[in-house]
Amino acid sequence: MSPIICTVDVVLLTLHDASLHLALLKREHAPFAGVLALPGGYIHAEEDSDTRDAALRTLREKTGIGSAYLEQLETFSGPGRDPRGWSLSVAYYALVPSRLIDHESRPEVVLRPVDQLQGLPFDHPRIVEAALQRVRNKSSYSSLPVHLCGETFTLPRLQGVYEAILGEPINKVSFRRKIEELDILEAIEGQLETGKAHRPAQLYRLKKQYRQHLALTDRGLNSAG
């Protein structure tokens, strides 16, 4: 019997042109050579301390991203997901600001809107769908979308990120009340965003303790009231 194929796959999400995009790479080898697929690869038993370590290494080697919000999604396995044989993949999802995807040094990284994905190989469509469902669900009651914003941002910018993920508008007063309840942000003293059509807006950043951890709220962030 052939050995079980053990891999990791990463659903790397970012915000581009105000909509959620997925990062893909063309596969270099068979099966599905030349087809856009999720960043992924074999687990290196001698090098990786666990599957999270393997996922971080995969992101670093294949996309050049050394820092991302990363969370385990679930395990996908079975004899039919890979034509090479019985396989197991521990899937993760990662959120990064678009500025961290360097298209000049990594032109092989391709961004596609999450609602315009076709022809993904293996069971990658199922993995992507599971990741999107997880991200949208957690975004309704947590600080998860902040990890798409970059180091500094305004509250209107943050609200726009939440709305892009959830796919619906959010009442401004309700949103700001619930962000206050989460208590995840700190104002950057003396720093305002200027040069926009609106009046200067205060810049914020994520508090240090939440840069790899989420804050939760009892009430959904996507409610209108």
Q: Tens of pLDDT along 3-26?
A: 999 999 999 999 999 999 999 999
What is the number of domains present in the chain? 2
pLDDT tens by residue, 34-48: 999 999 999 999 999
214's tokens: 């989420």
For residues 47 and 126, membership in a common domain is answered with: yes
* Listed residues 89, 123, 138: the one ending a domain: 138
Task: Name 8's Cβ contacts closer than 8 Å, sequence gap at least 6.
Answer: 40, 41, 43, 51, 54, 55, 58, 89, 90, 91, 92
The confidence band for 195, taking pLDDT boundaries of 50, 70 and 90, is: low
For residue 220, is it within any domain?
A: no
Shared domain for 113 and 197, answered yes or no, is no
Cis status of the peptide bond prior to 31, with omega within 30 of 0: yes
Say if CB 164 and CB 156 are below 8 A apart.
no
58 domain-assigned: yes
CA angle 47, 94, 188 (to 5 degrees): 115
Same domain, 119 and 151: no
Note whether 197 and 122 are same-domain residues: no
Range of the domain at 186: 141-210
Total count of residues recorded for the chain: 225
Structural element, H or E, at residue 38: none
Looking at the structure, do residues 126 and 149 belong to the same domain, yes or no?
Answer: no
Percent of the chain with pLDDT over 70: 94
Q: Please, is 80 exposed, middle or buried when counting C-beta atoms within 10 Å of its C-beta (0-12, 13-18, 19+)?
A: exposed
Q: Contact at 8 Å (CB) between 37 and 122?
A: yes
* Contact yes or no for 223/212 (Cβ under 8 A): no
**Residue 177 falls inside a structural domain:** yes
| Domain-embedded: residue 223 | no
| Residues 40 and 128 reside in one and the same domain | yes
Counting DSSP H helices and E strands in the chain, the numbers are 4, 9
Instruction: Say yes or no: 203 and 123 in one domain.
Output: no
**pLDDT tier at 208 (50, 70, 90 boundaries)?**
confident
Same domain? For 42 and 111 the reply is yes
Could you tell me the CATH number of the domain that includes residue 164? Answer: 1.10.10.10
- Same domain? For 82 and 51 the reply is yes
Shared domain check, 164 and 118: no
Does pLDDT of 224 surpass 80? no
**Do 126 and 20 have their domain in common?**
yes
pLDDT tens digit string along 97-140? 999 888 788 889 999 999 999 999 999 999 999 999 999 999 99
Domain boundary among 138, 159, 191: 138
